Amino acid sequence: MDSPTPGALHDAVLGWYDDHARELPWRGLEATPWSVMVSEFMLQQTPVVRVLPVHALWLERWPTPADLAAEPTGEAVRMWGRLGYPRRALRLRAAATAIVERHGGEVPTSYDDLLALPGVGDYTASAIASFAFGQRHVVLDTNVRRVLVRAVSGQEFPAPAVTRAERDVATALLPDDEATAATWAVATMELGALVCSARQPSCDACPIAEVCAWRGAGFPAYDGPPRRGQAWAGTDRQCRGRIMALAREQSSVTTAQAEAAWPRADQRERCLAGLVDDGLLTQITPGRWALPG
Q: How far apart are CA 140 and CA 124, in angstroms?
A: 9
The phi-psi region of residue 168 (left if phi > 0; otherwise alpha if psi is between -120 and 50; otherwise beta) is alpha
Residues taking part in catalysis: 40
Q: Give whole-number Cα distances, 238 to 232, 243, 256, 265, 273, in Å.
A: 6, 9, 18, 14, 15
Q: How far apart are CA 279 and CA 264, in angstroms?
A: 23
- Do the beta carbons of residue 255 and residue 263 sit within 8 Å? no
Closest C-alpha among 233, 231, 232, 235 to residue 270: 235
CA 132 to CA 42: how far, in whole Å?
16
